[in-house]
């Protein structure tokens, strides 16, 4: 249920409603908008009739059911869009952000060269995998904690916040101590133990859609994270598996406007993993910006031919620079703004 407060409801009235919600066994999730406050009451749906009594409390305008099974992620429970702050970067606001970097951290030299290049081109954040889930157990699995240390040094050198993947619930605290954003990959989108663990983290979560995951299933996964206490969740469309074999996955570009209608959470698009071929990344990136994505995740590598992971889909720095130039005009039209990192061209 959601409890909508009156426009002139005071702080004391809002606090009284929160206290009452929690006294009857529900969790209160507060969204304070410009004009009014909305309080989500999340708990056992079988007892929702009891919450209707809140309509008689001072300052309450109305009590409404939340129609979607994902209560906290639903747009019904939030007045406006969620904007997540990572350092000086805002995700979900008026500007489109770009997260860029290699699929995997391979060496300090490789990551520093990439970080410097994407920073110069205007990227907002740096991505890089230290723990790599691979289809084959014989493929490069990442550098582990040493890779995290290299990412941290790259952040110190460039000022770019770091995004990296967490694969196991037991690694959450370790990775949180190094990274600015924790990524849950497509293969773990319904790893509920991991979702609960990152829900206890203090850092924002980038949640990737699985290859066979519906949008409602993606939102229910986000709900797991949020129900554990972490409201700072970003959703990422990265391609789904279809009958088409011409590409690695099929980028579901329609997911962006549909998700924007269903949820208040920011939506990021990863065209690199979707298409699997670097030469198609630019047109898909432009399409994602045009339909209203809050950001892009782009794989960049100084020497893709010799990359230890996902070389064929990685852009060379000069190609990434071209991408940033070409999406700028689209972003300015669609969002009336374009977020570039400090020191951008």
Same domain, 195 and 150: yes
- 280-316 pLDDT tens trace: 999 999 999 999 999 999 999 999 998 888 889 999 9
Average pLDDT, the chain: 90
DSSP-derived 3-state class of residue 32: strand
The Cα–Cα gap between 103 and 100 comes to 9
CATH number at residue 201: 3.20.20.70
The Cα–Cα gap between 115 and 109 comes to 10
Question: Lowest-confidence range among 3-12, 45-54, 272-281?
Answer: 45-54
Q: Residues 144-171: what's their mean pLDDT?
A: 95
Give residue 178's pLDDT band: very low, low, confident or very high (50, 70, 90): very high
Cα 44 → chain centroid: 28
Give residue 339's pLDDT band: very low, low, confident or very high (50, 70, 90): low
CATH number at residue 37: 3.30.70.1140
pLDDT reported for residue 140: 59
Same domain, 58 and 91: no
Domain final residue pick, 65, 99, 116 = 65
Domains identified in the chain, total number? 2
pLDDT at 343 over 80: no
Residue 343 falls inside a structural domain:
no
pLDDT at 49 over 80: no
Domain final residue pick, 33, 65, 97 = 65
pLDDT at 136 over 80: no
Residue 16 falls inside a structural domain:
yes
Residue 342 falls inside a structural domain:
no
Residue 77 falls inside a structural domain:
no
pLDDT reported for residue 64: 82
Domain final residue pick, 37, 65, 93 = 65
Give residue 8's pLDDT band: very low, low, confident or very high (50, 70, 90): confident
Q: Which of 183, 174, 134 lies closest to 152, judged by CA?
A: 174
**DSSP for 74-134?**
BGGG-SS---EEETTEEESSSS-EEEEE-SB---HHHHHHHHHHHHHHT-SEEE-BSS---
pLDDT at 216 over 90: yes
Give residue 342's pLDDT band: very low, low, confident or very high (50, 70, 90): low
- 225-271 pLDDT tens trace: 998 889 999 999 999 999 999 999 999 999 999 999 999 999 999 99
Same domain, 49 and 110: no
Same domain, 174 and 30: no
What range defines the domain where residue 52 resides? 2-65
pLDDT over 70, % of the chain: 92
Same domain, 311 and 164: yes
Residue 319 falls inside a structural domain:
yes
Same domain, 126 and 190: yes
- 185-212 pLDDT tens trace: 999 999 999 999 999 999 999 999 999 9
Same domain, 21 and 150: no
pLDDT reported for residue 335: 66
Give the residue with greater pLDDT, 30 vs 243. Answer: 243
Same domain, 44 and 88: no
Give residue 71's pLDDT band: very low, low, confident or very high (50, 70, 90): confident
Same domain, 152 and 8: no
Residue 280 falls inside a structural domain:
yes
pLDDT reported for residue 321: 95
The Cα–Cα gap between 45 and 1 comes to 9
Same domain, 97 and 211: yes
The Cα–Cα gap between 42 and 51 comes to 10
pLDDT at 42 over 80: yes
Question: Lowest-confidence range among 135-139, 141-145, 249-253?
Answer: 135-139
Residue 75 falls inside a structural domain:
no
pLDDT over 90, % of the chain: 68
Same domain, 183 and 41: no
Residue 78 falls inside a structural domain:
no
Same domain, 93 and 30: no
Q: Residues 209-220: what's their mean pLDDT?
A: 97
């Amino acid at each position: 249920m959601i409890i909508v407060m009156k426009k002139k409801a005071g702080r004391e009235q809002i606090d009284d409603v929160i206290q009452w919600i929690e006294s009857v066994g529900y969790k209160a999730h507060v969204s304070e908008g410009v004009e009014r406050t909305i309080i989500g009451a999340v708990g056992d749906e079988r007892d929702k009739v009891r919450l209707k009594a809140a309509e008689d409390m001072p300052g309450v305008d109305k009590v409404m059911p939340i129609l979607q099974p994902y209560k906290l992620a639903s747009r019904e429970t939030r007045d406006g869009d969620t904007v997540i702050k990572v350092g000086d970067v805002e995700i979900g606001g008026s500007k489109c952000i770009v997260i860029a970097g290699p699929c995997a951290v391979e060496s300090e030299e490789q990551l520093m060269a990439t970080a410097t290049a994407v920073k110069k081109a205007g990227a907002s954040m740096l991505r890089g995998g230290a723990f790599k889930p691979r289809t084959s157990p014989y493929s490069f699995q990442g550098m582990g904690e040493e890779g995290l240390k290299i990412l941290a040094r790259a952040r110190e050198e460039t000022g770019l916040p770091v995004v990296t993947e967490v694969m196991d619930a037991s690694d959450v605290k370790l990775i949180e101590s190094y990274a600015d954003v924790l990524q849950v990959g497509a293969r773990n989108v319904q790893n509920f133990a991991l979702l609960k663990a990152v829900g206890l983290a203090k850092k924002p979560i980038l949640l990737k859609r699985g290859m066979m995951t519906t949008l409602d299933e993606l939102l229910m996964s986000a709900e797991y994270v949020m129900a554990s206490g972490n409201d700072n969740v970003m959703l990422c469309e990265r391609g789904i598996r279809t009958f088409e074999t011409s590409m690695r996955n099929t980028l579901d570009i329609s997911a962006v406007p549909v998700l924007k209608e269903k949820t208040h959470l920011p939506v990021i698009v990863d065209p690199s993993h979707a298409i699997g071929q670097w030469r198609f990344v630019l047109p898909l990136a432009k399409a994602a910006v045009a339909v209203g994505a809050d950001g892009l995740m782009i794989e960049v590598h100084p020497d893709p031919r010799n990359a230890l992971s996902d070389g064929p889909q990685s852009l060379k720095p000069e190609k990434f620079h071209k991408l940033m130039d070409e999406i700028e005009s689209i972003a300015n039209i669609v969002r009336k703004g374009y977020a570039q990192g400090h020191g951008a061209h």
